[in-house]
Amino acid sequence: MSRIHSGRKGRAGSHRPFPLTKPEWVTASSEEVVEQAVTLAKGGQSAAQVGLTLRDQHGIPSSRVVTGKRLAAVLSEHGVHPEIPDDLQALLKRVVHLQRHLTTHPKDLSNRRGLALMESRIRRLARYYRQRRRLPENWRYSAAGAALQVE
C-alpha cells in the first residue's frame, strides 16, 4: 500500500497481536467493562482515550477481547458516540493549529503545502464518512468551521 501524498510505499507499522480469548488474570466481566467505558465516554473522553484508561488504570488489556466487540461499537450502542469521528476530529485539530501557525509565519511555504495536503485528506475522509452515514450529508469542510468545531 502506498502513502497518500508521497510516491513511496512506506513501511507497515507493527500491530499488537490480539489473543482470541480473555487472559486468565483479567477478572472484570463484560458488563463491568461496558459500564466503565460508557461512564468514561460520558465524561468527555474519546474511544481511544477510553481504551487507554481501561488499559492503564483498570488493567484491561483489550476491551475487544473481554466484550467481543470494538470499543467504538460498544459506545455507539449506548448512544455515546461523537458527532464527528475521532480521526476526523484529530485532523481538524491539526489543521486549526497549522492555520494559527501560518497567520504568524506567512512565508512558511512547506507548512502551507502541508496544510493543503491535510485539507485534502479531510475532504477525502469526510466523503467516506458521508457515504457511510457517520456524517450528515450537508457536512462540508471549511477553515472557519474547523476552528469552531475544535474549540
Q: What is the pLDDT of residues 11-68, one digit of tens each?
A: 777 777 777 788 899 999 999 999 999 999 999 888 889 999 999 999 999 889 999 9
pLDDT given at position 131: 96
Q: Is the pLDDT of residue 148 over 60?
A: yes
Task: Decide: 74 and 35 in contact? Cβ < 8 Å.
Answer: no
Q: What percent of the chain has pLDDT over 90?
A: 60
pLDDT given at position 33: 94
Q: Where are the domains of the chain?
A: 30-77, 86-150
Task: Output b/e per residue, 63-80; b: 16+ Cβ within 10 A.
Answer: bebbbeeebbebbbeeeb
Fold observed for domain 86-150: Helix Hairpins (1.10.287)
pLDDT given at position 1: 55
